[in-house]
Structures are given as structure tokens and as C-alpha cells.
Chain A
Amino acid sequence: MKAPVRHHIVSARVENKAGVLVRVSGLFSRRGFNIYSLAVAPTHDERFSRITIVVDVESAPLEQIVRQLDKLVNVVEIAELAPEEATERELLLATVRAAPADRGQVIALVGVFEGTIVDVGLDAMTVLLAGSPSKIDDFEALIRPFGIIELQRTGRVALPKLARRAARLRAVPSGESHEVS
């Protein structure tokens, strides 16, 4: 399953208190917008949590929603992250059919994607993969033919990319290309 073309990532630092998630998600549901994925967990400072929301919505109403979200008393910081300016990661757990004859292929595939096998049964395995959402999409497509018994993705978490590009350009002679992951 691909992320929607018009997807936007909203990243909010919120107070780690009861009811905050419903206040935030309510601003979307009230306008009839569906949240595509949502991840929430405490930050390094346990008073705060970070909520990462991927939402399928036009830009104009989103800007309005972000301003409304910013007004919520429990929302400390909020930003819309452009996908090219964000580091995004997602985690997938999948229980895949893997009869003894197929087991080797599944193990090989997990190895190629640098995933982990976290559980092995008689004719199935549970695999774990963390990575960029597109990598997860590719992996999911490739394990699907084996037969997926259960699958759970976390939804993406994201942080802004660091402003190191300019510094690098100064340090590196021009003409040399650097891939920034």
C-alpha cells in the first residue's frame, strides 16, 4: 500500500497528558479528514510526547488545521514537514507463511533488506523491518506472495532533516555528489 500522493506530515510536540491525542485528532475528524497514519510516544523529556500524523488533505485546509492545532493549549510546537525535508522512518512486523521449503527464501529476503527474524514457527515466521516508508512498501510487496498471515506497520515517525547540506558543500570539492539519506 502506497502513501497517498498528497500526503502531508504534521509533527507536533505535545504535553504528555490524558486527552491530548483526542484533542489533536479531533481537529482532523471534525472537518472530515482521514488520518492516514499516526504515531505517538514520549520524547527524551517525559513531560512531552511527539505526535507524527500523516494526513491526506489539500494544502490550504491543512494550513488552517495546523494553525488551529497550534492554538491547542497542550500543543507545544507544531510543524508541517515537507517529505523532502524530513527524515522518515517506519517499522513493520509481519507474520509470513514460511513452510520449510520457502523458509530459505524468506530469510534471504529479510537479509537483503537488513531486517530481523524475531519469531519462527513450524510453517511461519515473524519478521521485523525498520526503514524509510518506501523501503517498507517494497519489502511488503516482496513478502506478500509468500502469504501474509498478519501485518502491522507503526505509521511513520519523522524529524526535520538537519541543516548540514550547506556545511558539506563547503567541505567537499564541487562536482562530487553526496547522497544524503
Chain B
Amino acid sequence: MQLTGAQALIKSLEMKDVEVIFGLPGGAILPVYDPILDSPIRHILVRHEQGAGHMAEGYAHVTGRPGVAMVTSGPGATNIVTPLADAAMDSIPIVVITGQVATGSIGTDAFQECPITGVTMDVTKHNWLVTDAQDIPRVVAEAFEVASTGRPGPVLIDVPKDVSNAQMDWYWPSSVSELDLPGYHPATEGDPRAVREAAKLILCASRPVIYAGGGVLKAHAADELKELAERTGIPVVTTLMARGAFPDSHPLALGMPGMHGNYTAVTAMQRADLLVALGARFDDRVTGKVSAFAPEAKVIHVDVDPAELGKVRQAEVQIVGDARRVIGELLRSLAALGLCEPTTGEAAVVAGRSGRGAGAAPDSPASARPDLGPWMAQIRAWQKQFPLTYRQEEGGALKPQYVVEVLRDMTPDDTIVVAGVGQHQMWASQYWRFDYPYTWVNSGGAGTMGFAVPASIGAKVGRPGKMVWAIDGDGCFQMTAQELVTASAERIPVKVAILNNAYLGMVRQWQELFYEERYSEVYLSPDLPDYVKWAEAMGAVGVRVESAEEVAPAIEKANGVDDRPVVMDFRTDAFEKVYPMVPAGASNDDIIVGPAQGEGGR
């Protein structure tokens, strides 16, 4: 069967079961847009190419399947570089297809030419410049394989216009062996000897913590993680990228560690004698000053990416492998050493039951296991002494944390929450209760402001049956708000809660704390733009909320809107800061729990 390169490209996406493409056409990608008219694949026309990339990311976050974005050459392609970099930092599988000028024009500074494979080389897992239409099905299949296996990540396929127009003989690679990837062999299973070593370390530890990272979600290992935690009775911290990987309502859940993590999560890691790092990469926002991080802890480090092992912290046991499979192997190893029964049921955890050798077969290596009771007691004491706090005073300024809590309590438990980057993101992560995997979408590593609106649209497209709320900042919202036009036009009813404090809040917080309150270029204004009018202009419902008592009725109203987007302008207290906080470069031991005495609530 003879097809054009363009037809082969769309047919290849169909073969990969792609259901949606986020994109915006232009000259060099024109041939590929023609067969879209005849394809069952839905195309969502964005208003800016960055939106297409973040939508593809949001889709991938919640479905676990690669999101697909398609844009034209030159500025179309450069506009999607930020989403590629974002996806690379957070290991999000997306496949970006860019048009390119005809092969004969490459390198001549042709109209809308940009060497995008060169530009994106360092922010993609891999990229391809297709020079022969006959290669298209194979390259598409390779791109999906690379994006979605091993440590997932973004890939880019650059397709020159003459290649799209050329004829080719259709085929489809029926298996991985027909792909041309001789250098690509992602590891999945852990080294059995290392797994046994890890199991032994777990049985020796008296102050262990499981440090769960985004890799747990990438590997679909939430069930295995829960089993590991319950079998061993080890408490779990979930990083910003792993929120939802372990239920926040579980007695062993300690919540988020790191720069704005809660006191217990941060301090439990600092005092631990064993960290079981699963799909986590010892990011600087988690470790604080590396040399002072968890000084007494031995480390078991499980990661699918061998380059992560020993990158920041040397581990006593390094295991290259997929978190789900390695946890499974670890559970079998623990059973072989005698730890067969759950150390604790949920009730037992609450009661602080554990005891020496709890859950172990008599006379097995596990029966000599230290009692975790004192450790859990210490953790409970920290939780009691240092909870997250804020004070919403009656008639006082609206606190952003209060908005998040009310929103959390008024939405279904499996609501998908999408955040931008800054104070609102931290409050959302701290105060939401994540009990299900794939319900938290945010930009972690790259810290891309403007992520929330387009990512929430992608998430809603991927999970149309779930309620999707973006919790956004006023600074972030202004960066990508135009995609609400896309959402209105495509009938994608996302909801956006802007925690509008009229500032670039996180920068303001740093200037207040570390630059002697010298506020430089952080003021935005609460009412310029008028967010309600802006929402209405974009076809969305706009609601303004200025006091605490208005919050619940307004959210109720928003929850009832299901045919168009909703934008809520919560006018929140500009003086509120994110606590706890570990100052940049400081040791996690120097965590600041809240405003200094005498500083008042403001």
C-alpha cells in the first residue's frame, strides 16, 4: 500500500492507539494536517504551542500513556522546548512531532527553519530527524518505545515537508525486534544479590524510612509500595513527584519531605538509620545541604536509571530496576528471611504495635528484627508537636491554605489536582489529601510557571470522567491562560482556582525572608487583569471570592458547572508564607517550622 509520509505518520499514531493530538498547524507541518481530517484521532487545537506540550504532559501524567503534540517548524518548534525540558526533568513520556523545512532547504536559513533536533538534544530522551518517508513507521514505533520504557521521557520527531509529501510503502513493525535500537536496553529486574542485601538491611534497621519518588508512579508500583510498607511497618514519605503513590490517610504516611515538606517527613529522614529510596533521585529540594542530609542513614537506592545511582548520595545497596518489579523481588526476599506476615495492620500501626520480630516466622532471621515501636512513637510525637498550621480568622484575610482545605473537602476523593509552580503548588501539595495514584499533576523538577492550565486540560482529556481542578497562582495563570479558550472551544470543563495574592508569591517570600523585605519586581496587582472578565471573555464561568465565608458556596457553584471551564479568583492574603521551610543550601536540620515568635500571623 502506497501512502504519503504524512499519511504514514498519522496511520502510525493510530497503530500506537493514540486517541488525541494536541497541536497547532503551520507551513512545514501542513501535509501532516491533511490526513488528520480522515483519522479517528481527535485533534485539539491549542492557542500556543507551549500549551500543546503541557497538555500532552498532563495527559501522560494521569494516563501513564505517552501524550502526543504536533507543531510546525521554527517558532512552533521552539515554543514547545519548555514542555520538553519540563517532561525531561519529571520523566514524563511525551512524543512531539515537529514539521521541518524541506530537506533541500535545511541549513539555508529558510523561512521558519530551526534546527530543532539540535536545540532539543539535551532536553529530550532522544530525537530523530526523518530523512526518508520509508522510515516513518519505524521511527514512530521507536519513539513510543523510547518515550514509554525504562525511565520515561520526552522524544521528538522532526519531519521535513518533502518527506511528508513523499510516497512510501506502508508497513508496521510488529515487534520491538524490528526496531533499530541496538543501543537501547532499559533494565527492569534488579540484581538478586543486591535485593537480598537490601532485605537484610531492612531487617537490621531500627529507624527506617521509605523515600518514595516519582518512579513509583511511573512503574505503577503503588500497590507494591503499600504492601512493602505494611509488611515491614516502615513509614513512607512521598516526594512532590510521588504524591498519591501512597495514601496520605494511611497510618504509615508521613507526607511530603523537602524544602517545604512537613516537619515529621523532613526530620524522620534526617534521623533515619535506613532510607529505602524507591524511584527517587535525591533532588536538592529534598536533601537540602547534601553533606548534612540523613547523616546516620544507610541507603538502599532503587532506580530504573543507572545514572541516578550514586549521583548525589552513595548508596550501601544500589539496585537498577523498575520499582514495581524490584519491590516484588524485595517482598519475596523478605519472605525468604522469615518476614511473611504484615508487621502491622492499619489498626496495629495506630496502636504502635510492632515489637521485636513482629510479623516474623519464629527462629527466622527476621525474628531478630529490631522493634520499630520507639521509632513510630517518636514519629507520632513529632506529628503531634509539629503539624502544618495556619490560622483563618473570622472576618480576616482569606488564607490560601483554607481555600485548599475547603476545596479538598468539597470535591470527590479521586479529584485530579493540577498545580503550577510556587506557593500555591506547595500549599496544594501540603494540604490536599492524596489517597489515589495519578491524581496529582505538577511541574516538579523544571518548576515551569504556567504549567497548570494547559496540563489540567490534558488531564481532563485523559480522564474525562474525573473532576479536574487546577490550583494556580495569579502569576502562573497569566502565562498560559489563553488555553482556556481551547478548553471552551473543545468543551473541556476544567476548573481553575487562582490563589490570587497579587504577587509572585514565592519570590516575594524569599525577598521578605532573605532580602530584608526589599521587594523587587514581584507585585502584580489583584485586579489587573480582572480575572472574572477575562474568564468570561474566554468562554468560561468566572467567580470572585474575597472572604472565607464565600468559599464553600462558590466552590459548590463551580462544581455544578460541567459544560465549560470555571475560573475562580480567590483573593488571598499576600502576607501568607509557605512553612515549614528549609532555606536554600541549609541543612534539613535547620527547618523553620513557622513565623518567628512575635512576627504575628502576617
Contact = CB atoms under 8 A, between A and B. Distances in A.
A105 to B, nearest CB: 49
Contacts of A14: 183
A73 B122 contact: no
B181 A64 contact: no
B308 to A, nearest CB: 9
Q: How large is the interface on A (under 10, 10 to 19, 20 to 34, 35 or more residues)?
A: 20 to 34
A70 B187 CA distance: 12
Interface string B269-311: 0000000000000000000000000000000000001110111
Nearest to A75: B183
A26 B307 contact: no
A37 interface: no
Interface in A131-154: none
Interface in B141-157: 146
A67 B307 contact: yes
Interface in B300-324: 305-307, 309-311
Contacts of A73: 125-126, 146, 181, 183-184
Interface in A57-88: 63-64, 67-68, 70-77
Contact of A68 (B129, B146, B307, B309): B307
B159 to A, nearest CB: 15
B238 to A, nearest CB: 26
B192 to A, nearest CB: 22
A74 to B, nearest CB: 5
Contacts, number: 42
B121 A15 contact: no
A74 B307 contact: no
Interface residues of B, number: 18
A75 B306 CA distance: 15
A105 B6 CA distance: 68
Contacts of B309: 67
SS class, residues of chain A in contact with chain B: mixed
B117 interface: yes
A152 B306 CA distance: 38
Interface stretch (A16-24, A90-98, A106-114, A162-170): A16-24
A47 interface: yes
A18 B129 contact: yes
B553 interface: no
Nearest to A12: B183
Contact of B183 (A15, A67, A68): A15
Contact of A23 (B121, B184, B306): B121
Nearest to B311: A64
A30 interface: yes
B182 interface: yes
A77 B183 CA distance: 7
Contacts of B306: 67, 70-71
B307 A76 contact: no
Contacts of B311: 64
A82 B305 CA distance: 25
A47 B122 contact: no
Contacts of B182: 15, 47-48, 76
B282 to A, nearest CB: 13
A71 B307 contact: yes
A70 B310 CA distance: 15
B100 to A, nearest CB: 14
Contacts of A48: 182
Contacts of A22: 118, 121
B121 A74 contact: no
B117 A74 contact: no
B183 A76 contact: yes
Contacts of A76: 182-183
> By CB atoms of chain A within 10 A, which of B146, B183, B184 has the most?
B183
A64 B122 contact: no
Contacts of A72: 126, 183
Contacts of B310: 63-64
B182 to A, nearest CB: 5
Nearest to A14: B183
A26 B182 CA distance: 21
Contacts of A70: 306-307
A47 B182 CA distance: 10
A19 B183 CA distance: 15
Nearest to B131: A18
Contacts of A64: 307, 310-311
A14 B184 CA distance: 11
Contact of A26 (B121, B181, B305): B121
Nearest to B155: A73
A74 B122 contact: no
Nearest to A69: B307
Interface in B108-125: 117-118, 121-122, 125
A67 B307 CA distance: 5
Nearest to A78: B183
Interface centre among A18, A48, A63, A67 (most CB of B within 10 A): A67
Contacts of B146: 73
A68 B121 CA distance: 13
Contacts of B129: 18-19
Interface string A7-47: 00000001100110011001000100000000000000001
Contacts of B184: 73
B135 to A, nearest CB: 12
B122 to A, nearest CB: 7
B122 A71 contact: no
A19 B122 contact: no
Nearest to B145: A73
Nearest to A71: B307
A68 B307 CA distance: 6
A26 B121 CA distance: 9
Nearest to A66: B307
Nearest to A77: B183
Interface in B77-127: 117-118, 121-122, 125-126
A75 B183 CA distance: 5
A26 B122 contact: yes
Contacts of A74: 126, 183
Interface in B181-237: 181-184
Nearest to A13: B183
A21 B307 CA distance: 20
A49 to B, nearest CB: 12
Nearest to A17: B180
14 contacts: A19-B129, A22-B118, A30-B122, A47-B182, A64-B307, A64-B311, A71-B305, A72-B183, A73-B125, A73-B181, A73-B184, A75-B183, A76-B183, A77-B183
Given A19-B117, A73-B126, 15 more contacts: A15-B182, A18-B129, A26-B121, A64-B310, A68-B307, A70-B306, A70-B307, A71-B307, A72-B183, A73-B183, A73-B184, A74-B126, A74-B183, A75-B183, A76-B182
Interface of B: 117-118, 121-122, 125-126, 129, 146, 181-184, 305-307, 309-311
Please give me the 8 A-B residue pairs with the lowest Cβ-Cβ distance, nearest first: A67-B307, A76-B183, A73-B126, A75-B183, A73-B184, A68-B307, A76-B182, A67-B306
